[in-house]
Structure 1
Amino acid sequence: MTTTLAPPVPIGKSAVGALGILALSTGALESVVAPTIPLLERELDMSQSEGALLSIILLITGALITPLAGKFGDRYGGKKILIRLMAVVSVGGTVSALAPNLPVLLVGQVLQGAMIGALPLSFIVVRKHLPAGESKVAIGVVSGLFVGGSMVGMLSAGPVAEQLSRHWMFALPTLAVIGATLLVNRLMPTDPPGRSDDSGIDWPGLLLLSGMLVTLMLVLALAPEAGSQPLPLVALVLVLAAFVTGWVRVERRAAAPMIDLRMLARPAIWKACVLTFVICLGATMAVYLIPQLLDERGDGYGFGAGATEIGFFLLPGAIAATLAGPLGGIGDRRFGSRAVVNTGVVMMTAGLLAVAAVHTEVWHLVVGKVLIALANGLCVTAMMTSTAAAVDKGDTGIATSLILVSRVVGSAVGGQLGGALLTAGTPSGSKVAAESAYVTGFVIAGVVVSLALFVTRTMSKGVKA
């Protein structure tokens, strides 16, 4: 005798809106540390190396949690895992808000890193409750609001920390996350669990991936000092190679790998991951370099802007990033992912190279940032929606988790490369980076992003795995 499962309950705009508010809140909480690192270093008596650790710990945690969250969401139901995950995030935000010192703040950031796993869980829920066409638009809305939330957090963190305190820059978005989680729990119907199996968690793969990401960040952090300290850098590169080799072997042999390399071998998936990595690397270099250039006080370059002014100058980019998600979802449905990604890549390359060539007025940076933010949102949303549609519904969480891990790693590498270029371009005894360091950074980012066109040429109009 067979049991017929009841079809999923359709959801309305209010439920999708609740997911969007949650994405906006988590995006804001994710991004408050990056623009306030100098302030946190002063208030918590942190060294630069400790500041670098604080800036990347959330990304590393997110990259580790995301595949597990997607897999558990596919297996046990997206809403169930999403609510539990956001409870962890809420605790982490509270710990960060109350943190009296660096160790406690690091604990809070580790817990907050679980928020990056919320996106694939949202996609699982949306795909189970909406038709294919509507789900693409809904995924675009949620993705766009997460990107927009990240920009809102980056813009507001400095003014909130200066006018109130560093505690409130964590507390305010945490309160929003708690409220949005309660709203999702009330409005979103429970989705049925997917496939069930007896396989356990891939702990060896999780530990090796953790070591790989931490070592990669250390390599990038030490790169500017390669001339004076070559041996530590070489040693770390060898350790990184060992971690990568061990991780690949473990994942290939695991019965239930944390990241399914067989799925990654599908052309649609690995192309989407490569594109996401490259695009996020270029976008994050710009996200780091443009505020630094606005704040810079060089001879003939830079504008000496304060935190509030910088937030105002970056606001148009935040608006563009928010609109990019829904536009990317609609464009993917009407024209296909390849057309959307090609448009975004050309737009971002043009913005990066334009800023490299012309940056003597504030509006040059503002317009460049709008182009870069809009292009980034279009590309990442197209990759998310096309990947989610290219696999079976039961594999949605795992597949989109691969894209999110690529986003996190690309963003971390881009930020570290931008910092390394400015460090290398700062003369000894000076605190002002050379103008050539900024130009080099924008040019490198533009060239790297343009290479994505070689990948998009091999994509079908609508990506299919």
Structure 2
Amino acid sequence: MFDAVVSPVRIGRSSVGALGILALALGALQSVVEPALPLLQRELGISPAEGALVANAFALTGAVIAPVAGKLGDRYGGKRVLIWLVAVISAGGLLSSLAPTLPVLLLGQVLQGGMVGALPLSFILVRKHLSSGESQAAVGLVVALFTGGGMVGTVVAGPIADGLSWHWMFALPTAAVIVTTVVVVRLMPHDPPTGSDSGIDWLGVGLLSATLLAFMVGLGVLTSGGLPPLAMVAVVLVVAACTTAWILVERRSATPTVDLRMLAVPATRNAYVLTFLVATGFGMIAILLPQLFAVSGDGYGFAADTTRIGLYLLPGALIGVVSDSVGGIASRRFGPRAVVVVGAAVTAVTMCALALLHDAVWQLVLARVLTAFAVGLATTALLAGAAASVETKDIGIATSLLVVTRVIGAALGTQLGGGVLALGTDPVTGLPTESAFAAAFVVTGLIAALPLLVVRITRSSVPR
């Protein structure tokens, strides 16, 4: 048991600013991979499907860390846990910067995935040290700077890789993370632990990790092709066994990592399904467009380097920030269902059109802008709708499960996109064919349209 709780010390703008700058550095480190994926594939001699694993390693670790970090922060103090977590993130960034092979880079990205838990820990700190109104403003600042850091990373990854090497695009943001953490340690007072008696479901955490790992490795193996039928069945059975074991443990745990009771509520269950489908479609978009920007095929592709790819993706990143802020407003005014329908329709039509029209850079940039805005609207509306449809005591449970669902969906989409391109690779040139890109865009459009069917079927239980 803990001693009597001590009132936390109030903090000033410098402490909040230090947390925000740390979020900026973390966002930059997190975002350098997307525009550099084609470069990493060339440098390490890996396929698009293996490149998708690099992008997903970070996200899947975050899906496991997100529900655990907040519990640890409440129990042991947000500052203490944040320091240890950033140490792990920094180790991952340094390992990625030194990686000579794909397995080492994957391990570095797994460690970097801990930064998903850094944001909830920052929120714990500002809530404990500031009033309710002040903490809301501070949370907004931290989130905005994390998003801004993502845009910075997208833009600077190319110049750093071209001017120095791809190793430095991990090393420099990692150095910034370490320096800003030192500043946070000096300026941010320790927050007292809450003394909560609720434990951490470590068995659930381990099984969730095993399930996600088996899912992504299995998907990567299946989409790479070349497996005999019995091996493919074995992969599916392993994933199913891990998933079943995790569900059984979570249902019996007093303090589950992910509370599956939320699936019993029709409104939230449908929000999870819709979020998964929307995120899967956007995960495919996230890998397909950089690949087409980079490829130099016979009559297709643009042979763009990492710098230009980052610039091409920047408008979509900017509009994504806008759509995230507008999604909640649109949800309150028109209802989540209407927003999801519009977002799904725009994404589906855009991707199907891109299957026919992809011979100019502006077409791909416009497609990224339209889909980023549509997906941002839909996912934010679903998040707001789910939060409004459950009791106040369940908001944290419902929204954390939505975050995990979004991460898994995006990871699946990224792997599917890489798999389609890998299956359509020209054996002579070693490049994905133009027809492979067209097929992948059509598949993305079809997946993006699935929420329309779900909304139609579940009309009575999707929040209006």
TM-score tier by shorter-chain length is: 0.7 to 0.9
TM normalised by structure 2 equals: 0.82
1:243-392 → structure 2 map (5 Å cutoff): 243-332=242-331, 337-338=336-337, 340-385=339-384, 387=386
SS at match of 2:445: helix
Distance in 1 (alpha carbons) for counterparts of 2:133 and 2:69: 22
Distance in 2 (alpha carbons) for counterparts of 1:286 and 1:89: 27
Contact 1:276 1:380 in 2 (8 A): yes
Change (3 A) 1:271 1:181: farther
Q: d(CA) in 2 for partners of 1:12 and 1:384?
A: 31
Distance 1:404-1:120 versus aligned 2 partners, 3 A rule = farther
Are the counterparts in 2 of residues 144 and 377 from structure 1 also a CA contact under 8 Å? no
The one-letter code of the counterpart of 2:174 is T
Range that drifts further, 361-370 or 33-42: 33-42
Greater Cα offset, 4-13 or 150-159? 4-13
Aligned-pair CA distance for 1:209: 1.8
Partner of residue 235, structure 2 = 236
- Show the counterpart of 2:450: 451
| Equivalent-residue separation in structure 1 for 2:133 and 2:436 (angstroms) | 46
Distance across 2 between alignment mates of 1:71 and 1:261: 17
Q: Using a 3 Å threshold, how does the CA distance of structure 1 residues 426 and 108 change in structure 2: closer, same or farther?
A: closer
Structure 1 segments unaligned to the other structure (5+ residues): none
- The answer to whether the Cα contact below 8 Å between 1:120 and 1:401 also exists between their aligned partners in 2 is no
Q: What TM-score results when the alignment is normalised by the length of structure 1? A: 0.82
Number of aligned positions between the proteins: 457
- CA deviation after TM superposition for structure 1 residue 248, in Å: 0.8
Q: Distance in 2 between matches of 1:193 and 1:334?
A: 39
- Indicate conservation of the 8 Å contact 2:88/2:111, yes or no: yes
**CA, structure 1 residues 103+423, in 2 after alignment: closer, same or farther (shift >3 Å)?**
closer
Q: What does 1:1-400 correspond to in 2, within 5 Å?
A: 19-37=19-37, 39-40=39-40, 43=43, 53-76=53-76, 78-99=78-99, 105-124=105-124, 131=132, 135=136, 142-143=142-143, 145-182=145-182, 193=193, 196-199=196-199, 201-224=200-223, 226=225, 229-332=228-331, 337-338=336-337, 340-385=339-384, 387=386, 398-400=397-399
SS at match of 1:360: coil
Residue of structure 2 in register with 1:427 after alignment: 426
Shift of the 53–359 alpha-carbon distance from structure 1 to 2, 3 Å rule, reads closer
Q: Once the two structures are aligned, what percentage of the paired residues are identical?
A: 53
Q: Alpha-carbon deviation of 1:205?
A: 1.9
Q: Is the 8 A contact 1:421 1:437 kept in 2?
A: yes
Offset, 1:37: 4.5
Distance 1:388 1:460 in 2: 11
Residues 99/251 of structure 1: CA separation in 2 closer, same or farther (3 Å cut)? same
Distance 1:17 1:91 in 2: 24
Q: Compared with structure 1, are the counterparts of its residues 375 and 332 closer, same or farther at alpha carbon in structure 2 (3 Å cutoff)? A: same
Letter in 2 for 1:429: V
Per-residue CA distance 1:147-206 (angstroms, 9 max, x = gap): 55445434432331221122321122223333444565577676665571153x323322
Offset at residue 236 of structure 1 (A): 0.2
Q: Which runs of 5+ in 2 are unaligned?
A: none
Shift of residue 332, structure 1, vs aligned partner: 4.8
Is the CA contact 1:317–1:373 (under 8 Å) kept in the aligned structure 2? Answer: yes
Shift of 1:292: 1.3
Contact 1:74 1:396 in 2 (8 A): no
SS of 2:211's partner is helix
Q: Which residue identity lines up with residue 112 of structure 2 in the other structure?
A: Q
Over 3 Å counting, the alpha-carbon distance change for 1:281 and 1:95 in structure 2 is same
Instruction: Give 1:419 deviation, angstroms.
Output: 0.8
Shift of 1:89: 1.5
| Change over 3 Å in CA distance of 1:133–1:436 after alignment to 2 | farther
Give the direction of change, closer, same or farther, for the CA distance of 1:443–1:53 in structure 2 (3 Å limit): closer
